[in-house]
Amino acid sequence: MDYKILLFDLNFDQAEQDAVIETLRSKWISTGPKNAELERRFAEMTGARHAVALTNCTVALHMALVLNDIRPGDEVICPSLTFVATVNAIRYVNAIPVFADVKSMEDLTIDPDDIEKKITPRTKAIMLMHYGGFACNMNRIMTLADKHNLLVIEDACHGPLSEYEGKKLGTIGSTGCFSFFSNKNISTGEGGMIITNDDNIYEKAKLLRSHGMTSLSFDRAKGHSTEYDVIELGYNYRMDDIRASIGIVQLDKLPGDLAIRAELRARYEKNLDRVEEIVIPFKGYKYFTSNYIFPIVLKNSTVERRNRVREHLAEAGIQTSVHYPAVHRFAIYREYASPLPNTEYAADNIVTLPMFSKLTHEQVDYICDTLKEAAAKK
């Protein structure tokens, strides 16, 4: 279907093309100086001590679990209202995902009360996801973690520059993981980043991303090293310098992009303020956020009604999505399922509306008017 208004559009222009050409002309296209620059700037941007660029956020999540010594049979509490990669990473290390519910339709982040109920002697970590770039209740979660000696891994794939009480998301737990997938706030096609303030985790992360080798090809090519040893069972999780060069340009654009998204969210909230048929999650949110997506939840609804609303929007040329199907309902994860009433209602009744910096105020008005028409139908 040809849409008049896309769900997302890349914030790309000549700058990304120039960056790629510059890297190609340098004749160093694998992990090298552009990766180093991206890592340095990302760490500075988030206030983290260290950053390691990776192939994507999924491998960042996997590495975070390995780096934090999560082992087979360990339980990791996680949300079900997330992209499946959050949970897949837990299974990569043969740990057990324990699903916790979200707080409410107004707050789609993981519920600390339900986390507390799910803690057992086998629980070793909480892997939370900052939904849409909106922070989980980190004070409460970190208090629980300290009380029960648990690690906290932040899936901050939606939240570059998002904040919680003056701290950037990804810097509060032991490790933070970010995505540079093509529809994220920072887009490199594929790519990701892991950040930490722990020197030991950082040093091991550099080893694990490149086969456990003590030096990179770039180091040897520049004469910084002539030999290497392999001291860990590592992976090929490296980002190439072509994507890193795009990421550097995207970092330059990020503050301006997020400022526009904040304006768009304010317009959405104003237009939809008195629509009785919907809930606007995180309405009036008090911290700075990336506004990765703009979801609404239909009240007193069913999945069939939600789908009819999406069809109405599609017929008007508006692309929408659902963030997300509940992971515990997927066939591969049903054995780990438990009652999650808020998650299940949200998954059945969320509609994700367009959100990107090229969206105009007039387009937002049109989307809201069309949504009002659709939501009013029974």
Catalytic amino acids?
184
Look at residues 285, 291, 278, 290 and name the one whose alpha carbon lies nearest to residue 350: 278
Residue by residue, DSSP assigns 91-129 as HHTT-EEEEE-BS-SS--SB-HHHHHHH--TTEEEEEEE
Helix then strand then coil, % of the chain, to nearest 5: 40, 15, 40
3-state secondary structure 286-303: CCCCCCCCEEEEECCCCH
Estimate to the nearest angstrom the gap between the alpha carbon of 114 and the chain centroid: 22
How many CA atoms within 13 Å lie on the side-chain side of 49? 11
Amino acid in position 171? T
Look at residues 318, 306, 315 and name the one whose alpha carbon lies nearest to residue 355: 318
Pairing of strands 151-155, 175-179: parallel
Q: Residue 47 is encoded by which pair of tokens?
A: 């206030």
Separation of alpha carbons 300 and 118, rounded Å: 28
3-state secondary structure of 220: helix
First to last CA, the chain: 25
Instruction: Tell me how many degrees the CA angle 101-377-342 measures, rounded to the nearest 5.
Output: 5
Q: Which of 283-289's residues contact partners 24+ apart within 8 Å by CB, and which partners?
A: 283/106, 285/134, 287/134, 287/135, 287/162, 287/163, 287/164, 287/165, 288/161, 288/162, 288/163, 288/258, 289/132, 289/133, 289/134, 289/135, 289/159, 289/162, 289/163, 289/262
Amino acid in position 62? H
Look at residues 322, 247, 374 and name the one whose alpha carbon lies nearest to residue 81: 322
Residues 6+ apart with CB under 8 A from 221: 28
